[in-house]
Amino acid sequence: MTDTGAGRTVRVFHRGWEMECCGTPFSVGDEVAWPLVFESVPEADAAVWADCLDERGLLRAVTLHGGAADKRSGASRIAGRVRSIQVVVVGYRGAEPVPGERWLRSVERCPKWFADPVEGDGGGVGAGTGAGADLGAGKRGGGRERRGYRRVESGVLVDVDVADAERGA
């Protein structure tokens, strides 16, 4: 969370599958209101996700699927104006995320559909693997994926200028 002149800004993670299933794309400047849940992050990835953890060390995540937010423990709501959107790209080996491999790419509008695998270099900036590292650096050769390795657009990080958020935001 960061303080701004207009109030405070809260960063939340909006998973790609949630958007593809039940979400409506949004843009920078739009007003949003979402249910949130707070989830544990594997210790190996805590530093990579530190910019979107709450004071308890839990990931703030948007949850839209089937009204699950109303039934899940720790559910809350956040409402406000979208300040920024960054597509999150995660490195995977098989079905498991590679610890510390997360890249961000700023966009003006959240996509409805997310790439798996990401084609090309993605134009992102490294977060957790060294600032300034692009998506293509050392991970793919000749346009072919390394055996069992791929990059997946897993969702978006959204900075929301909070207008009215319930507990935990």
**Whether 16 contacts 154, CB under 8 Å:** yes
The residue type found at 41 is V
What's the pLDDT at 67?
A: 57
Q: How far apart are CA 119 and CA 136, in angstroms?
A: 10
Cα-only R_g, the chain:
16
* d(C-alpha 85, C-alpha 109), whole Å: 7
Specify whether the CB–CB gap between 100 and 45 falls below 8 A: yes
> What integer pLDDT is reported at residue 134 of this predicted model?
36
pTM comes to 0.75
* Spatial distance between the Cα atoms of 58 and 46, rounded to a whole number of angstroms: 9
Q: Please report, in tens digits, the pLDDT of each residue of the chain (169 residues total).
A: 443 344 689 999 999 999 999 899 999 999 999 998 888 988 877 877 888 888 888 999 998 876 555 555 556 888 999 999 999 999 999 888 888 888 999 999 999 999 988 876 544 444 443 333 333 333 333 334 456 899 999 999 999 999 644 434 4
